[in-house]
Amino acid sequence: MDQESARNDEHLSPTDASTDASTDASTDGSVYDWFAGQAEQRPDSPAVVQGGVRISYRELHSRVVQLSGELLERGVGPEQAVGLLAGRSPGLVVGLLAVLRAGGAYVPLGTDLPPERLAFMVHDTSMKLAVTDTEHRHRLAGTSVRTVNLRAGAARVTSSPVQPQVPDPARLAYVLYTSGSTGHPKGVAVEHSGLSNYVGWTVSEFSGGRPADAYLHTPLSFDFSLTSLFLPLVTGGALHLAPQHQEAEDLATAVQNPDFDLVRLTPSHIEMLTARLGGRRGLRGPRQFVVGGEILRARHLTALRRLFPDSVVYNHYGPTETVVGRCFLRLDETAGFRIEEYAPDDPLPIGHPIPHTRLTVDDTDAEQAAQGVGELVISGAGVARGYLNLPDATDRAFSALPDGEGRVYRTGDLVRLDPRGRPVVVGRADGQVKIRGQRVELAEIEALLCAMEGICAAAVVKAREPRSVLAAFVVPDGSGSPGLSPGLSPSPSPSPSPGRSPGRAPGLDPEPLRARLEASVPPYMVPQHFSALGELPLTRHGKLDRRRLQDLFEKETRATRSGRAQAEPGSGGPGDVLRKVCALCEHVLGVRGVRAGDNFLDLGGDSITAMKLATACRREGITVRSIRFLTADSLADVFGGSGVSDAR
């Protein structure tokens, strides 16, 4: 294959797409400088909006200046990591901008992360200080980190505020943690030059030469969020924040806003919107949808166009290691794209590189090249510095360009070129998967399982259907760990001959395994299904046969459904409403014999099917929030709590 896109040497600054000085975010400054310029030009315009709260640029800038003064007095400076641990709120925006103004590098600490993962991130970054809110401050109590309350800066008024630190383009701007392959997450270190390059491009492409309003509904630990976060603040637009605990129903309502210039979605979000809004058509939505985080397929685009026909849709691709996104394609005929050329499940092309970015396809793997695919390699200004404190992993994935114009990153994504020479992502060269847009290294989960007492081997696969389900298979060593039944005998061999059916090991209690993982990884990385095997299946090349494990998961799921079918659907339910919910659950999940005591996630449900079930319930006059299916222990608990009422 050995084809590459032409280098995009054209220098595009935000002013190239605009004659309005309000969007003049010169690439010679930092993202913070561009924000400060907007605060000076339009002090009374709304900068951040959340519900009924509106904060002007004057107030936002004042709070940022005061909080950054506190950080500077506490010793924050270049290359120093500062944690951000707060709910989605205007204060979180203040904290992030204050860290940048003080010259530090912000590190998002997700509010739903387990203690072990938080402690690891604190240690890995040598973090000494974190900005928190009152609600989440206690979560750092077990660490050595000092905390600064987000409200501290607002109460600290100085007549001569400390001047901002001028960031060197080569200094760290932020560190984002992604799933790793060693049992620990990897910290991706991003410099100011890469961040400025990306944000400057978003202004050129998405602002339309005027202040741009955007809607932020994803956490800052997901770099997907940076498009929506910075675009308004550097163009003088309004950053609209979703409620702190937003549900899918809220998103479906929020995106029906033609005043928004940009809303970012994953394909999973599109499926949620489709489930929530059903067969509705012709809704008024934002000027632009920018889709990424997962492979975008033709059926996703068709569904989104049906709902919001007047909104422009972009496919936007890029790993965290390349600062949010390096490729984009406007998905309409003005860009030479025709949806009619694709079957519903076909992946769509990711398009063209943004300025100062180069794409190449490495076809040195003969087996992959024979299939017409190769690994996508990205180089240029937007490639991250590397992985924090992981020199070997950095050397494997990153290298420097010989001409000094940036770095090279091997993405691990397998692509083929379409007839127009545009890359199309068709898979991975490793065990990495996406769960609702979040990157998951299956090896990280496997390493944690193998470290548990009583387990000598483990494998995790992503189910084919439902697509967001992870299934874990473990081989016990017979030591009688808490997660395994006492009668388990040692497995005859954790590495069977190729082609042999994996032996079954009886008596797995998944709860201790699940509890141990919940203490170490984010919720989306905890498998919904656990099985014990006598051995793991191998391919004829001696590699783990993940396809056979997917087949085994499907076989076990069918057997479970068959067993449930012997019970009367809905039997044991506390009333007519619950019986209806059980029957609807059967229809949505494609299972039989659903009972009141069943757990929705154990039945194979996920956030998308929860949305579909909630929508089906509404059609039957039952009001229910989809989040209840995901958090309740059983369908009976959904009924018994405050989440369900019969509207008839």
Whether cis (ω within 30° of 0) applies to the bond prior to 466 is yes
Q: How many other C-beta atoms lie within 10 A of the C-beta of residue 457?
A: 20
**Rounded to 5 degrees, what angle do the CA atoms 473, 476, 481 make?**
115
Q: How many other C-beta atoms lie within 10 A of the C-beta of residue 21?
A: 10
Measure the CA–CA gap between 254 and 395, rounded to whole angstroms. 43
Q: Which CATH class is domain 442-564?
A: alpha beta
Angle between helices 90-101 and 31-41 (to 10 degrees): 120
Q: How far is CA 99 from CA 49, 203, 274, in A?
A: 21, 22, 39
Residue 413: strand, helix, or coil = strand
Are 549 and 473 in contact by the 8 Å Cβ rule? The answer is yes
Measure the CA–CA gap between 300 and 81, rounded to whole angstroms. 38
Domain with CATH 3.30.300.30 in the chain: 442-564
Residue 610: strand, helix, or coil = helix
H-run or E-run covering 202? helix 192-206
Are 492 and 535 in contact by the 8 Å Cβ rule? The answer is yes
Q: For the chain, state the CA radius of gyration.
A: 25
Measure the CA–CA gap between 535 and 20, rounded to whole angstroms. 65
Measure the CA–CA gap between 264 and 255, rounded to whole angstroms. 10
Residue 315 identity = N
pLDDT at 603: 77
Question: Helical H runs in 594-648?
Answer: 607-619, 626-631, 635-640
pLDDT at 90: 96
Residues 480-527: pLDDT tens digits?
544 443 323 333 333 444 444 454 445 578 888 988 898 888 888 888
Give me the residues of the chain with pLDDT under 50, please. Answer: 1-27, 153-159, 481-501, 503-505, 564-573, 641-643, 645-648
Name the β-bridge partners of 81.
105
Q: Which two tokens stand for residue 29?
A: 């400054």
* Secondary structure (DSSP) of 449-517: HHTSTTEEEEEEEE-SSSTT-EEEEEEE-SS--TTB-TTPPPPS-SSPPTTPPPPB---B-HHHHHHHH
Question: Helical H runs in 488-603?
Answer: 510-518, 546-564, 576-589
pLDDT at 22: 34
| Residue among 99, 190, 121, 113 at smallest CA distance from 387 | 190
Decide which of 3.30.470.20, 1.10.1200.10, 3.40.50.970, 2.60.40.10 is the CATH code for 576-646: 1.10.1200.10
Are 197 and 226 in contact by the 8 Å Cβ rule? The answer is no
pLDDT at 9: 33
Name the β-bridge partners of 74.
none
Residues with Cβ within 8 Å of residue 141, at least 6 apart in sequence: none
Token pair 């002090």: residue? 43
The three-state DSSP-derived secondary structure of 86-139 is CCCCHHHHHHHHHHHHCCCEEEECCCCCCHHHHHHHHHHCCCCEEEECCCCHHH
CATH number for the domain running over 14-417: 3.40.50.12780
Sign of the torsion angle spanned by Cα atoms 113, 118, 121, 122: positive
Measure the CA–CA gap between 221 and 215, rounded to whole angstroms. 16
Residues with Cβ within 8 Å of residue 70, at least 6 apart in sequence: 98, 148, 152, 153, 156
Residue 67: strand, helix, or coil = helix
| Residue among 119, 130, 125, 250 at smallest CA distance from 175 | 125
Domain with CATH 1.10.1200.10 in the chain: 576-646
pLDDT at 268: 85
The pTM assigned to this predicted structure is 0.78
Measure the CA–CA gap between 497 and 267, rounded to whole angstroms. 39
Beta pairing, strands 312-317 & 288-291: parallel
pLDDT at 488: 30
Domain with CATH 3.40.50.12780 in the chain: 14-417
Supply the DSSP symbol for 397.
H
Q: How far is CA 242 from CA 147, 389, 546, 579, in A?
A: 25, 34, 38, 34
pLDDT at 596: 84
pLDDT at 395: 94
Measure the CA–CA gap between 124 and 116, rounded to whole angstroms. 12
Burial class from Cβ neighbours inside 10 Å (0-12, 13-18, 19+) for residue 155 reads exposed
Residue 50 identity = Q
Residues with Cβ within 8 Å of residue 502, at least 6 apart in sequence: 473, 496, 533, 534, 535, 536, 537, 548, 552
Q: Which two tokens stand for residue 251?
A: 């998103």
Are 611 and 275 in contact by the 8 Å Cβ rule? The answer is yes
Q: How far is CA 553 from CA 120, 243, 462, 570, 608, in A?
A: 32, 37, 10, 25, 20
Measure the CA–CA gap between 448 and 520, rounded to whole angstroms. 8
pLDDT at 481: 47
Measure the CA–CA gap between 400 and 589, rounded to whole angstroms. 49
pLDDT at 353: 95
Sign of the torsion angle spanned by Cα atoms 514, 517, 523, 526: negative
H-run or E-run covering 214? strand 214-216
